[in-house]
Amino acid sequence: MESFFTFLEKRVSDCSSLLCVGLDPHLDDLPSPSAEAASAFCLDLVERTARYAAAFKPNAAFFEQFGAPGWTALKNVIAAVQEQSRRLGSLIPVILDAKRGDIASTAEAYARSAFATMGAHAITLSPYLGRDSVEPFLAVPEKGAFLLCKTSNPGAADLQDLLVDGTGEPLYLTVARLAQAWNTKNNVGLVVGATHPGALARVRQSAPEMWFLAPGVGTQGGDLEAALKAGLRRDGRGLLLPVSRAISRAADPGKAAAVLRDKIIDIQYRLGN
Amino acid sequence: MESFFTFLEKRVSDCSSLLCVGLDPHLDDLPSPSAEAASAFCLDLVERTARYAAAFKPNAAFFEQFGAPGWTALKNVIAAVQEQSRRLGSLIPVILDAKRGDIASTAEAYARSAFATMGAHAITLSPYLGRDSVEPFLAVPEKGAFLLCKTSNPGAADLQDLLVDGTGEPLYLTVARLAQAWNTKNNVGLVVGATHPGALARVRQSAPEMWFLAPGVGTQGGDLEAALKAGLRRDGRGLLLPVSRAISRAADPGKAAAVLRDKIIDIQYRLGN
């Protein structure tokens, strides 16, 4: 069965890359605070980095801050990725980093927004509302969802690290277990910060087959080798590494993406994968 | 100090109401699946129900599903509430039900979107990412946030009911405790489903002074009297009751809102407040 992760695996093979290029038009990075500037910033990044990108990850917040014109910009940026996919003859998945999470009929509306209206292939979701808040996003195997599990920010400890009574394990491992139970169509992944290699290793042990989205190796300071060592599956895949500012703020973003892609390959090789 | 909750308390006094009118343009309720129809649906509801509404609560998903035009509609709907506030000489707060939750600089962009770009007065947030995902929304006392605590859907049990080791208490009570610690500017509330009066009573006991947004008394079937008994503060306030379809699908939404408002007053009176 074709599913979101069969598409992603194919793309990873086509470009020999685990790099996920983040499309985060921070106000600081734009010549003017406008949706048009955000769009231009992202379109340039997409064009320069597409051949090295296993996936693109636009963060909805940086478009939403501009209101309606921001959503037009987001749609254009996703369309530009689809154009690059056609040019390269290889589908580059778009993961909309939206961290949504709402109950049944509302979750359906969010799924319609991300997949049908915007054209994204996957979305990030918060697990706090449980199964019926996630299911509407998983109805079609070709569309996927990454559930927040252990995030890369300081506040992650407030809830995610709490030990669940009777299991002796932190809450984030319960999320990893639930995500696997809900993954009946090969379209559920997890978000696990690369800034906590110890936690990454524990989630990998608990979910040996899942794909992880592991932010934090760029500006947030996570160690790339430690993250790969902790997070790769036994087949040397299963880990997408989103990088935003370390690419977009480089003098030559295309070159920065190529260098990062190759650095990841070197480490994979050294780790024996 | 003026804060989101001093505005809300003032409005509750002005209209003698704890009713929060939900603005949820479900596709099923629209003559055509368009942002224009969603906007017309909500503008009509706002006009008919404003005098009975302690607050309005548009759910972002039902606008977002239309892409950019949906965000234009949302902005128009919020502007219409502001217009009614001027007409009635009493500020009716708009709580954007968006259930956002992302890390620092991204949370800032979401706060900019909800408050500056859209003009909402408060927002609903997921607590899963912890303190630094919530703080950017609390920077200005006049703008508020309601954190998801114990939600009204079946999946709420998956995470929220898990017992936290060492406390013997469910996770949702930890969230109630954290929310109080973060509430240094009188602008943090909680979302606690009216469908679980037992849980509502426990959260009230744990957070005696906070405002709760308690969905579930309309179509979801929660018992209004049980919810009020469990959730009201000792001063007979502190509980906002969002109702969407039971008002919007009534033959006369204005009358339905008035009847509900009065029914709540009767129960408050009977409960001795």
Identify the pLDDT of residue B176.
98
Tokens found for residue A58 = 């636009």
Q: Cβ–Cβ of B178/A157 closer than 8 Å? A: no
Question: Dihedral (C-alpha) A50, A51, A54, A60: value to the nearest 10 degrees?
Answer: 0
Closest CA to A188 of A267, A125, A262, A109: A125
Written as six digits, the tokens of B15 are 């209209």
Distance from the Cα of B155 to chain A's closest Cα (Å) equals 4
Contacts of B110 in chain A (CB under 8 A): 61, 64-65
Q: Which of B10, B57, B75, B99 is catalytic?
A: B99
C-beta atoms of A159 and B166 within 8 A: no
Each domain of chain B, given as residue ranges in start order, spans 4-270
Q: pLDDT, tens digit, for every residue of B202-216?
A: 999 999 999 999 999
Residue B220 gets which letter from DSSP? T
- Predicted-assembly ipTM surpassing the 0.90 threshold: yes
DSSP string, A67-134: -HHHHHHHHHHHHHHHHHHHHHTS---BEEEEEE---HHHHHHHHIIIIIIS--SEEEE--TT-HHHH
For residue B106, which residues of chain A lie inside 8 Å, CB to CB? 24, 59, 61-62
In this prediction, what percent of chain B has a pLDDT beyond 90? 95
Spell out the alpha helix ranges (H) of chain B: 4-15, 35-49, 61-64, 68-88, 104-111, 131-134, 156-160, 171-182, 197-206, 224-231, 245-248, 253-270
Distances (CA, A) of A163 to A152, A244, B156, B168: 18, 32, 18, 11
Q: What angle do CA A223, A224, A230 make, to 5 degrees?
A: 90
Six token digits for residue B105: 């600089």
In this prediction, residue B160 carries a pLDDT of: 98
Give the per-residue pLDDT at B221.
Answer: 60
- Cα angle value B268/B206/B145 (rounded, 5°): 80
Counting as low any pLDDT under 70, the low residues of chain A are 219-222, 273
Q: In which band, very low, low, confident or very high, does the pLDDT at B272 lie, cut at 50, 70 and 90?
A: confident
Does A68 contact B69 at a Cβ distance shorter than 8 Å? Answer: yes
Q: Is A149 helix (H, G, I), strand (E, B) or coil?
A: strand
Closest CA to B59 of B120, B138, B117: B120
Is residue B75 part of the annotated active site? The answer reads: no
Rounded CA-CA distance B149/B179 in Å is 9
Strands A169-170 and A163-164: antiparallel
Question: What are B189's strand-pairing partners?
Answer: B146
User: For B212, left (φ over 0), alpha (ψ -120 to 50), or beta?
Assistant: beta
**Could you tell me if B206 and B171 are in contact, meaning their C-beta atoms sit under 8 angstroms apart?**
no
Neighbour-count burial of A119, counting CB atoms closer than 10 A to its CB (0-12 exposed, 13-18 middle, 19+ buried): middle
CA distances from B60 to A16, A148, A256, B195 (A): 38, 20, 37, 22
Q: Which tokens go with B176?
A: 């109630």
- Cβ partners under 8 Å of residue A89, min gap 6: none
Measured distance CA(A163)–CA(A157) in Å, rounded: 11
Residue among A70, A133, A156 whose CB faces B130 most closely: A156
pTM: 0.97
| Res. B219 pLDDT band, cuts 50 70 90 | low
| pLDDT reading at B218 higher than 80 | no
CA dihedral B69, B75, B80, B81 (to 10 degrees): 140
The answer, yes or no, to whether residue B111 has pLDDT greater than 90, is yes
Q: What is the chain B residue with the closest CA to A158? A: B130
| Measured CA angle at A109 (ends A103, A110), to 5 deg | 80
> Both tokens of residue A63?
């478009």
Cβ count within 10 A of residue A166: 9
Residue in the block written with tokens 């969905």: B215
CA distance A124 to A107: 13
What pLDDT does residue A1 have? 76
The shortest C-alpha distance from A212 to chain B (Å) reads: 17
Q: Is A239 helix (H, G, I), strand (E, B) or coil?
A: strand
A165, B168: Cβ pair inside 8 Å?
A: yes
Q: How far is B8 from chain A (nearest CA, A)?
A: 24
Secondary structure string (H, E, C) spanning B115-152: HHHCCCCEEEECCCCCHHHHHHHCCCCCCEEEEEEECC
What is the tens place of the pLDDT at every residue in B142-169? 999 999 999 989 999 999 999 999 899 9
The tokens 């979401």 sit on which residue? B110
Query: Are B148 and A131 an interchain contact pair (Cβ–Cβ within 8 Å)?
Result: no
Q: Which CATH class is domain A4-270?
A: alpha beta
Contact, A118 vs B68, CB < 8 A?
A: no
Place of tokens 């734009």: A30
Model pLDDT, residue A7: 98
For residue A162, give Cα distances in angstroms to A126, A169, A204, A245, B24: 17, 8, 19, 31, 35
The predicted-structure confidence for A56-69, as pLDDT tens digits, reads as follows: 999 999 999 999 99
Residue A157: its chain B contacts at CB < 8 A? 130
* Angstrom distance (rounded) from CA B80 to CA B74: 10
Task: Write down the pLDDT at residue A104.
Answer: 84
